[in-house]
Amino acid sequence: LVTLQWPLRVQVEENRKTITLNQKEEVIKLNEEGMLKAEISQKLGLPLTVNSQVFSAKENIFKKRG
């Protein structure tokens, strides 16, 4: 869905995908094993941007597990 507003701005509504804590841990594990972000995304069927978000929140993810 694309919405146009004045002044001319384009807003694109994206479908967001929620991933589980286990998936986040898998992303981190695969990266630490040397797999490239693009390969991880393809293997797990996740958008590439999810990997970056997971790595940014890496410390918080492991705090949740305790």
Q: Pick from 53, 55, 58, 59: which is nearest to 16 by CA? A: 53
User: In this model, does residue 33 exceed pLDDT 90?
Assistant: yes
CA 27 to chain centre: 9
Distances (CA, A) of 10 to 4, 16, 50: 5, 18, 23
**pLDDT (mean) for 13-35:** 84
Of the two residues 65 and 42, the one the predictor is more confident about is 42
User: In this model, does residue 30 exceed pLDDT 90?
Assistant: yes
- Whole-number pLDDT of residue 10: 53
Q: What are the pLDDT digits (tens) for 34-54? A: 999 899 999 998 888 888 888
